[in-house]
Chain A
Amino acid sequence: MASGTEILGTFKEQPADPVTSEAALHLSCTDMLQHWRRVSLSSDFLAKYYSFYFPYREKAKGRISREAAENSISFVLNELIENTAKYSNTADTAVRVRVLLLERTIQLEVSNAVTAALAEVFRASMREVLAGDTEALYISKLEANLQGARSDSGLGFLTLINDYQIQLGFKFEKTGNDICRITVQASMNCEEA
């Protein structure tokens, strides 16, 4: 990371489509670790907020229904925010959550700060996730996990790709001597597959 910034996957600095709506939360990983249910609460809040953009099940022709959108947005955001709370390990405890509703997709974004060493571990794990056969990788990681290997990192991201068809992008920015801010972007389709 000589230049100070590295991108993995599909990361958009600027959204490709016009933004219908944007919301952001500024949180602290300390707060979330103190009361873990704050993670779920934050995800549920944003999911419910954006669900109103989606039609009722009876009218949802070609678009994801309100109920499904709420459940899926909450699941994905919860996974992303959980990671920021679990892995932030520097004095910079700020966690940023941002949701952008675009025409055909909803972009869910989180960022948090970690040490350079942890960023490197995460980067290697995400390269593996982005490169391979994600279905096979999921099963092999699960089986390895059963043998006691500490390889559950990545399982959540693999679930997002395999079950939610999420497109992932990562930005690694050096923000201090030994600090790297990681931004994760997850784009979800608003239309029925």
Chain B
Amino acid sequence: MEIKGEDFLVTFNEPKAAVEFFGTIRLRDSSDYKAISDLLDAACRQVPGELIMDFRNLQFLNSAGINTISKFVIAARGMERVMLKVQGNKQIAWQQKSLRNLQKLWPKVAIEIS
């Protein structure tokens, strides 16, 4: 399962139970983000215990994208079927600034920024 754009790639790495994000994602609005949120939902249904969201290679995500991820976290909190782990890159400013907010939405989200 993967979604490819001109500047980005989002892929579900099943053996690692990880959704990996690469490049720059700055789509226009939530309808353009539907494919990515569908991929996250599908990955969430398939992994047994913990789903990793790996942003370490994502240079940019606009606020519409951050909202998409946030909504996914709220939905996952509601189901409580899997735990979520977020991996970030401390060298990339937007990740330093915004990823920890996901924990405010669901305190059980593990955040690892290295």
Chains A and B come from one and the same complex: yes
CB neighbours (8 Å) of B94 from chain A are: 71-72, 75, 163
The SS class assigned to the A binding surface is: helix
Docked-complex contact B71 and A39, CB < 8 angstroms: no
How many angstroms from the CA of A20 to the CA of B112 in the assembled complex?
A: 38
Query: Which residues of A are interface residues toward B (Cβ below 8 A)?
Result: 36-37, 39-40, 67-68, 71-72, 74-75, 78-79, 82, 86, 135, 138-139, 142-143, 145-146, 152, 155-156, 159, 162-164
How many angstroms from the CA of A142 to the CA of B63 in the assembled complex?
A: 12
How many angstroms from the CA of A39 to the CA of B26 in the assembled complex?
A: 9
How many angstroms from the CA of A40 to the CA of B8 in the assembled complex?
A: 13
CB neighbours (8 Å) of A39 from chain B are: 26
**10 contacts across the A-B interface (CB closer than 8 A):** A37-B6, A40-B7, A71-B92, A72-B93, A75-B94, A82-B28, A142-B70, A142-B74, A146-B75, A163-B98
The answer, among B6, B60, B66, B70, for a CB contact under 8 Å with A74, is B60
Query: Which residues of B are interface residues toward A (Cβ below 8 A)?
Result: 6-7, 24, 26-30, 59-60, 62-64, 66-67, 70-71, 74-75, 91-94, 96-98, 101, 104-105
CB neighbours (8 Å) of B92 from chain A are: 71
CB neighbours (8 Å) of B97 from chain A are: 72, 163-164
B44 vs chain A, min Cβ distance (A): 15
CB neighbours (8 Å) of B24 from chain A are: 40
How many angstroms from the CA of A185 to the CA of B66 in the assembled complex?
A: 22
Q: Which residue of B lies closest to A156 (CB)?
A: B63
How many angstroms from the CA of A163 to the CA of B104 in the assembled complex?
A: 13
